[in-house]
Amino acid sequence: MGAEIDYPALAVFLFFFILVTVMGFVAAHWRRPKTLAHIDEWGLGGRQFGTWITWFLVGGDFYTAYTVIAVPALVYAVGAFGFFALPYTIIVFPFVFAVMPLLWKVARDNGYVTAADVVHGRYNSRWLEIAVAVTGVIATMPYIALQLIGMAAAIHALGIPGEIPLIVAFIVLAVYTYSSGLRAPALIAFVKDAMIYIVVFAAIALIPLKLGGYHAVFDAADAAFKAKGSGGILLAPSQYVAYASLAFGSAMAAFMYPHTLTAIFASSGADTIRRNAMLLPAYTLLLGLLALLGYMGHAAGLKLTNNNDVVPLLFKTLFPGWFAGFAFAAIVIGALVPAAVMSIGASNLFTRNFWKAYVNPDITPAGEAKVAKITSTFVKIGALLVILFLPTQFALDLQLLGGLWILQTFPALIFGLFTNWFRAPGLLAGWATGFLGGTALAWLDNFKPLHAFSYDGSKFAVYSGLLALAANILVAILVTALARAREKAAPQ
């Protein structure tokens, strides 16, 4: 993209960035409790967020800036396969409706802040607790880094070179997150979501008019894929299994991440979560419309060196500068909200399941809040360093592994809500099998998320995370069965 600064776009961008910065600091006084020096208040907003706040917060950290950039980029590159994000966001909400209220109740009744708290409370195993906590932290770090990739794409589209603006934006984020905790992204999410909706609806209404209508958009995309010799606007039969498994596995992993669970635990009640499970599919409509921007990139004849530039370049090319600035501000703000929640979720895990468990078991609630604030800052710094000093592809590879890794916490966290049959050694052995085996499988596949099979002359691929989870569950069942047999054989 060109390096010439678009000053009208920059002016609009700065106005909205300053607006949300002010809101981030004001959030410390929004629904202010007696003190923020408590991890329940700083890290979970006092567990008091109602339906609308939770809807914006979950939407804000589930549909991220990188989603806005990456989904159209994937559709631009491979066509219909990039739409796998739509069925997985449809599959996940019945799961949220049925399961998350139970998890919320367990957390609320016992004062749990993290998934690892829940696992330790259920199985009384420090080893299983630390496995879940470590998995949550390392799966979240590259996810935060990818928010930076989305921010960088928007900032560079403004014509601003270098990394200084990105660093400044994250310093601002770190300061108001430290000050306001989860209240900051919850308040900013209102602005972020309103801006994203305006941007998307303007894009799907106006861009096709400029390009000759949707018929021309689909024809251009189809011609581009045929010329390239790969991809297409329809799925090939060989992609069906891969598409379905990736959608299903992604749905199972989505609410295992610390940031999505943080938003769930911050809700005011089980009914709030159920109502959100019914309302949140509205974002799926938004995601589908966003994905169409990938096809529009072909119709606009964009020449890209990086597929992630398709959305910024569309707005820079087809809209006046002031609206492009508004769109870029929406993308950057769309990174700030999930990055804040992700860093808070990771810091809660570190504070409760490492610091309190192993370093200072007698830490006060105020001490917990202080450790969480400091850790949150270091998490952001770590993500920033990944982007500044390592290739972008490294962050992408780690994020793909992150989904595989976090999926391995599913049995330990979810099974215990419904059955007392499993034992901690079995779940720990299953986690280790899925985590290490899945990582090895991803390494052999050159960090691609799918593993290829051949059967009876047919070739198909399956999401590696699901294969690892299947091994995880099988080992957990076998080891638990042995443990229960020993329990029965032991003298009473």
Does residue 243 carry a pLDDT above 80? yes
Residue type, 155: I
pLDDT in tens, 247-289: 999 899 989 999 899 999 999 999 999 999 888 888 888 888 8
Q: Of all residues in the chain, what percent carry a pLDDT higher than 70?
A: 95
Cβ(145)–Cβ(383) under 8 Å?
yes
How many other CB atoms are found less than 10 A from the CB of residue 391? 10
Contact residues for 187 (Cβ-Cβ < 8 A; gap 6+): 23, 24, 26, 27, 30
- pLDDT, tens only, 40-63: 888 888 888 888 888 888 877 777
Q: pLDDT per residue over 326-367, tens digit each? A: 999 988 888 888 888 889 999 999 999 999 999 999 999 889
The model's pTM is: 0.90
At residue 2, does pLDDT exceed 60?
no
* 26, two tokens: 């004001």
With pLDDT > 90 as the criterion, what percentage of the chain qualifies? Answer: 45
Tokens for 392, please give them.
């972008």
Domains, the chain, ordered by start: 7-392 (1.20.1730.10)
How many degrees, rounded to 5, is the angle at CA 149 between CA 69 and CA 254? Answer: 65
Other CB atoms closer than 10 Å to residue 31's CB: what's the count?
Answer: 14
Cβ neighbors of 182 (< 8 A, separation 6 or more) are: 42, 43, 44, 45, 57, 262, 266, 340, 341, 344
Report the alpha-carbon angle 257-259-260, nearest 5: 70
Q: What is the mean pLDDT of residues 367-387?
A: 87
Q: How confident is the model at residue 293 (pLDDT cuts 50, 70, 90)?
A: very high
438: Cβ contacts below 8 Å, ≥ 6 apart = 404, 405, 408, 464, 465, 467, 468, 469, 471
Q: State the Cα torsion 181-182-184-190 to the nearest 10°.
A: 180
Give the angle 447-450-453 at the CA atoms, nearest 5°. 125
Per-position b or e across 420-444, b if 16+ CB within 10 A of its CB: eebbbbbbbbbbebbbebbbebbee
Q: How far apart are CA 16 and CA 2, in angstroms?
A: 23
- CB atoms closer than 10 angstroms to residue 447: 16
Q: Do residues 37 and 369 make contact, with C-beta atoms less than 8 angstroms apart?
A: yes
Assign 106 to helix, strand or coil. helix
Give yes or no for residue 395 having a pLDDT over 70. Answer: no
Given a cut of 90, whether residue 121 has pLDDT beyond it is: yes
